[in-house]
Structure 1
Amino acid sequence: MRISTQQFFDTSAAKYQDNYSSVVKAQDQASSGVRVQTAADDPIAAARLLMLQQQKDMLGQFNGNITSLKNSLTNEESVLSSINEAMQRASQLALRAGGSISDADRKSIASEIGAIEDQVLGLLNSKDSSGNFLFSGSKSQTPPYSRNNDGSYSYQGDETPLSLQVSDTLKVSAGDTGKNILEGAANSGRTQATVIPPTVNDGKVSLSAGLVTSGTDYTRAFADGQPYKLTFSSSTQYTVTDKDGKDITSEIPGNGTFDSTKEGSSSVNLRGVKFDITLNLKDIAPGADSDAAVKDRAFTLDTKPDSFSVSRTPSNTSTAQLTGARVTSQGDYASTFPANSGAVIKFTSATAYEVYAQPYSANSKAIATGDTGGGTTVTAAGITFDVSGTPQVGDQFAVGASTHKTQSALDTLSQLRQALEQPADGNPAATIKLKDVLDSSISNLANSRAQLDNVRGSIGARQNALDIQASENASIGIANTSTMSDLANVDMGEAAINLTLQQTMLQASQLAFVKISQLSLFSKM
């Protein structure tokens, strides 16, 4: 086989270039300490390094989320602590108002309760450092609570708390919704006692509205047996029958006897609800029979009916108002009205209207329609409203329903403030009504604080979970860095030996080329 001079030079040059490239590469590895500088250096290691780098970047994002979550939860905990302190102060004031004080003193307390009410509203509508409302859920640009015209409050957020990923498998809520914080607190004042005609409510015999003392007994027994009828047979004796007319007096401690002159001996503890009896027989003529003055007086004991709050959209073009909401068709109300979320009534003309479930949007579908026919009432989803003024096209009214099963602390504070503002001195009926509000307020504020404590406990659990996850992420990051170092970096001793080897091979290649290039066929002749 013949080898041309051109082939010899080309082959030698290529070999020399390869050896020179190997020396340069060995020098780079030795000086930088990096073994895999391009994917060609080690394709398998390069692919693994890419995956590890992506994991490292993701861990950086997770750690950033953990820091953000810790800040958010710390901020929330601070706000909830302030709300808890405000409610504790309100409870102390309610206890004080139950003492022997005057109307003027109660008005002074009402003023402080009003300040606490405003404080709690402001705290619930707090924003974070980014300007987002803390307790509105995913509707972070909407204030969670607004005050209605009747003094009640409506929750305008949703039930979807924002959350962030802190690991491949763990997502942690950045906060809590107002619905979760306050709306779930049980309402102890959800019952009522109503005089049965023809008895006249002259104040001689009174029953409190009732206070739920056992939610379990109330749900299991009281609700199923209502309405109850309590009938007095004397000034020391009564009987109670359930909705079917069955006498259940024997179930009640004391078996239907009471003593209005002794503290704690004039209560009717009926299936988880306590009703207090008050007798005012001072006006009975001397020698008159007190038993006869009480005999046959009867009361209905049951749960309060649903109540409604109506708020007018500020952008309405008219000044029309909807008031006096009441259920006029129980069937339509039960089947149509969205009790959990509330409804929006939207007028499409001066008389025609449509009803939508909350939250309402341009794509929402009407759940009911109607027409006032030029009258002064609106009936929507089984509820009838009085209309004042003439609605215009586009007018909207938000309607919220309260089943009285739960009650937010804001509504409790509002009711307490309004009750304390009303005069009660020298008025037995007003005094009993005030006592009902005070008793339910004290109990409801305690329920709200318990609900608040549950949320604060949840915050603590999430903070602990974040600490654990941060430690886990740090461990993964250390392992990640170690693996990347093993794959990408070189052993400096090995790199020095390799550099010497490559330099020697380059020198050998140079010497071989020189020697071979001196050979000639003519020297053999």
Structure 2
Amino acid sequence: MRISTSQFYNTNSANYQRNFANLDRTRQEASDGLRIRSAADDPVGAARLLQLEQQQNMLKQYSGNITNVRNALGSTESTLNAIGSILQRVNELAISSGNAGFTDADRKANADELSSLEDQLFSLMNSKDENGKYLFSGSKGDTPPYVKNADGTFSYQGDQSSLVLQVGDMLSLAANETGYSAFEQALNTSRTEARQTAPSPDDGRVNLSNGQVTGSVVFNDRFRGGEPYTVEFVSSTQIKITAANGDDVTSEATQGGKFDPNGTNTMINFRGVDLRLEISFKDGDSADPDAAISGHTFTLGAKEDTVSGTRSAGNGVSGSQLTGASISDQDKYKAAFPAGGAVLKFSETDPTQFDLYAAPYSPDSRPIGSGTLSGSGANTTATVAGLTFKFSTEPDAGDSFAIKADTHQTQNVLDTISQLRTALTTPIDNDPVARQNFLASLDSAIGNVASGINQVSSSISSIGGRGQALDVQAETNESLSTENTKTQSSIRESDPAEVMIRLQMQSNMLQASLQAYAKVAGLSLLNYI
């Protein structure tokens, strides 16, 4: 086989360059310890490294989210603890105000302190975080969660949305606690009502309070199914309770409906509801007390919904205000009125025509009811979905009003404190009837404050549970990050011993190729002549 001189030189030059390049790469690998610098070095290993780097970046994002959630929950928990402390003081004032030795002046002093506590509570419930966002407004961070209305009540303006952040591959946690869950869901223990139906007018002999719900399960399972009840005094020591279907359910009342007419603040429990009873005999009743008390009759049931409305800020120049709202048809109201409230909107072209929409309203909303205004001036009314609204004057075209219904199932603590202040500032000295009404209001306040404390405590517990989940997830993420780093190192980095052996072998191969080239290059017939 003949080999040309050019072929010989080209072949040896290519071999030398290849060996030198391999040696140079191995020297670089021995210097920095990296086996893979580009996908060409190891396509499979490079692809695996890309996946691991993406996972590591995601773990870093999770770590940042965990920090954000922990900081947000920490601020919220501190605020809720402060709110809980204030509510404990409110509870102490409420209980002490029932002291039989207290005078109107003593109760007024407690009311003054309650006013200060109410202001503190209102401020805390409108707290902001380090970014200037309201803690308890849900997703509406720029909107104050609570505002005080003209009538002294308080309204929640936030929403129920949780700000959720992902802190692990399979775990997302809320970074906030909404005012709706922390304050608005406190059960209202004063959600029953007793109305005297006979005699008329009231002779002042029998005072039966509206009642306090002490057992929600029994109330929901038993009481609600039989209302409205008729409570009839058949003598000065016995009542009879009849359910709406005519069944006699007196046996479910304390002592089977028996009571001591001379007792003070007598309590009667019936199907999860405590009722205060006070009998006030008149002069001459001692001759026949049964005749004086028998025939007094009350109806007892859950409080009916109340409806209210407010004028929208962008309304026309008429200044029309919604002065009254009432339920005119219970069946239509229950069937049509949305649980989340509604918007009453007047036509843009004909101010006598209006539609009722479920809140929140949008241009795509479909009305749940429509109607035409009736009357004029202060007698202007609108009837729709079982509701009747009364206005101060005729609304302008395009005017709208926000409508909400109070089902009395829940009550925020601000309203509870406001009602308690009113009760404490009402004079009752030397007025047995006023004192009985005050004690009923005090029962309501104590029950609702306790309910508010429980709701705040529930929110704090929820935050604590999320904090524990964050700790566990942080440890898991840290372990995953450590293993990820180890795996990347095992793929990307070289084995020092293997590299040094390969370096020596490639160096020897390069030296051998140089020597072989020199030997072959020396082969010439001229050397043998």
Residue in structure 2 matched with residue 11 of structure 1 by the alignment: 11
Give me the whole-angstrom Cα distance separating, in 1, the residues matched to 2:333 and 2:125: 31
Give the corresponding residue for 1:442. 446
Most deviating of 496-505 and 101-110: 101-110
Match in the other structure for 1:513:
517
Whichever residue aligns with residue 491 of structure 1, its letter is D
Deviations 1:71-116 (A, max 9, x none): 1111111111111111111111112222343334333333332332
Letter in 2 for 1:397: F
Deviations 1:89-148 (A, max 9, x none): 111111222234333433333333233223223222222222222222233333222333
Mark the runs of 5 or more structure 2 residues left unpaired by the alignment. Answer: none
SS at match of 1:166: strand
Alpha carbons 2:167, 2:473 under 8 Å: kept: yes
CA distance in 2, matches of 1:429, 1:202: 12
Q: Cα offset for 1:196?
A: 0.5
Structure 1 residue 170: Cα displacement: 0.9
**Residue 489 of structure 1: aligned partner:** 493
- 1:290 is aligned to 289
Task: Pick which of 304-313 and 29-38 moved more.
Answer: 304-313
Q: Say yes or no: does 1:26 pair with 2:23.
A: no
Residue-by-residue CA offset, 1:484-510 (whole Å, 9 max, x unaligned): 111111122222222222222222222
Matched ranges for 1:409-420 at <5 A: 409-420=413-424
- Note if contact 1:199-1:298 (Cα within 8 Å) is conserved in structure 2: no
Partner of 1:238: 239
Residues 351 and 374 in structure 1, CA contact (< 8 A), matched pair in contact too: no
Question: Post-superposition shift, 1:262?
Answer: 3.2
TM score, norm. by length of structure 2: 0.93
Q: 1:414 to 1:465 in 2, by over 3 A?
A: same
Distance in 1 of aligned mates of 2:434 and 2:321: 30
1:40-439 map, 5 Å: 40-100=40-100, 101-263=102-264, 266-281=266-281, 283-285=282-284, 288-318=287-317, 319-339=319-339, 341-348=340-347, 349-375=350-376, 376-439=380-443
Superposed CA RMSD in Å reads 2.2
**Whole-angstrom CA distance in 1 between matches of 2:7 and 2:124:** 87
SS in 1 for 2:389: strand
Query: Aligned runs of 1:460-471 on 2, under 5 Å?
Result: 460-471=464-475
Aligned partner (choices 448, 459, 462) of residue 463 of structure 2? 459
Write the distance in 1 (CA, Å) between the matches of 2:9 and 2:211: 110
Residue deviations 1:335-357, cap 9 Å, x none?
21112x11122223533322221
Contact kept in structure 1, 2:310 and 2:402, CA below 8 Å: yes
- Is the contact between residue 234 and residue 240 of structure 2 (CA under 8 Å) also seen in structure 1? yes
Q: Point out the more displaced range, 218-227 or 154-163.
A: 154-163
> Using a 3 Å threshold, how does the CA distance of structure 1 residues 287 and 337 change in structure 2: closer, same or farther?
closer
| Residues matched between the structures, number | 522
- Contact residue 264 and residue 278 of structure 2 kept, 8 A: no
Partners of 2:285 and 2:307 lie apart in 1 by: 48
Worse-superposed segment, 448-457 or 341-350: 341-350
CA distance in 1, matches of 2:143, 2:286: 67
- Residue 374 of structure 1 and its aligned partner are, at CA, apart by 4.6
Give the secondary-structure state (helix, strand or coil) at the position aligned to 1:308.
Answer: strand
Following superposition, the deviation at residue 518 of structure 1 comes to 3.4
- What is the CA–CA distance in structure 2 between the aligned matches of 1:302 and 1:370, rounded to whole Å? 32
Note the C-alpha offset of 1:45: 1.3
Quick one: which amino acid aligns to residue 157 of structure 1?
Answer: G
Cα offset, 1:470, TM superposition: 0.9
For normalisation by structure 1, the TM-score amounts to 0.93
2:124 counterpart letter in structure 1:
L
The whole-number CA distance in structure 2 between the counterparts of 1:123 and 1:13 is 83
8 A Cα contact 2:198 2:295, kept in partner: no
Which residue type is aligned with residue 342 of structure 1? G
* AA of the residue aligned to 1:26: T
Runs of 4+ in 1 over 6 A off after TM superposition: none
Judge which range, 416-425 or 328-337, deviates more. 416-425
The change in CA–CA distance for 1:351 and 1:119 in structure 2 (over 3 A counts) is: farther
Pair 1:221–1:286, CA change in 2 (3 A): closer
Deviation at 1:271, TM superposition (A): 1.1
Q: Is the 8 A contact 1:343 1:357 kept in 2?
A: yes
Q: Which runs of 5+ in 1 are unaligned?
A: none
% identical aligned pairs? 45
Q: Distance in 2 between matches of 1:294 and 1:374?
A: 46
Deviates more, 1:422-431 or 1:432-441: 422-431
Other structure's SS at 2:345 match: strand
Instruction: Give, as a single letter, the amino acid of the residue that structure 1 aligns with 2:289.
Output: S
* Cα distance between partner residues in 2 of 1:316 and 1:453: 41
Q: CA-to-partner distance for each residue in 1:356-394, whole Å, 9 max, x for gaps?
A: 212233433322222213541122322212201332233
1:430: how far off?
3.4
> 1:14 Cα deviation (Å)?
1.9
SS at match of 2:3: coil
